[in-house]
Amino acid sequence: MNRKQNHPVVRVLSFVGALALVTSLSFVPAHAKPDFGVRGGTYSEQGDPFLGAEMLFGVGTSRSWFGNPNVERAFADSGDLTTVSFDFHYDFHRAQDYTLWAGAGPTMLFRDRNSPGNSSSTDSGVNLVLGVGATKGDARPYGQMKVIVAGDSAAVLGVGVRF
């Protein structure tokens, strides 16, 4: 049995995020070269480890706004969690060897519970992200903190590398 939780605020923020995605993709130059990355870390409340993959591309001409679609798979004893997100973030101090960023974006959470009496569920939500990472080099490491605001909210700490 699938259960879907949708709070009115989350629905509105998800719609706004989807609208922002469509708008941003219309401004991405065709010659823009996206970066790809991998990440890992933990969903802090349960201590569940995760692995993920991402793409990063510039939005517009400001060189400070970025789109960051990503997927993460957390592994837990009580059932696995997969998130599919489309975050946007703004880079501060981009001209230096490192940058700080802050952003947000819509996310979908797919929980596959494998304990008796619990059902799988799908939930929508919003990510709030804060990170720091290298801006130069072929492999650019970074660290990021994320809060998922949803019916089943979570805090996530991760590290990754972009190519």
Reported as a single tens digit per residue, the pLDDT across 95-146 is 789 999 999 999 998 887 665 556 677 889 999 999 999 999 999 999 999 9
- Total number of domains in the chain: 1
> Tokens representing 126?
């919003």
Q: Note the pTM of the prediction, 2 decimals.
A: 0.76
| CATH number, domain containing residue 151 | 2.40.160.20
Domain hosting residue 143, numbered range:
3-162
Per the model's pLDDT, the better-predicted residue between 114 and 75 turns out to be 75
What pLDDT score does 17 carry? 62
Closest CA to 66 of 106, 107, 25: 25
| Alpha carbon separation from 52 to 6, 85, 99 (Å, rounded) | 25, 11, 21
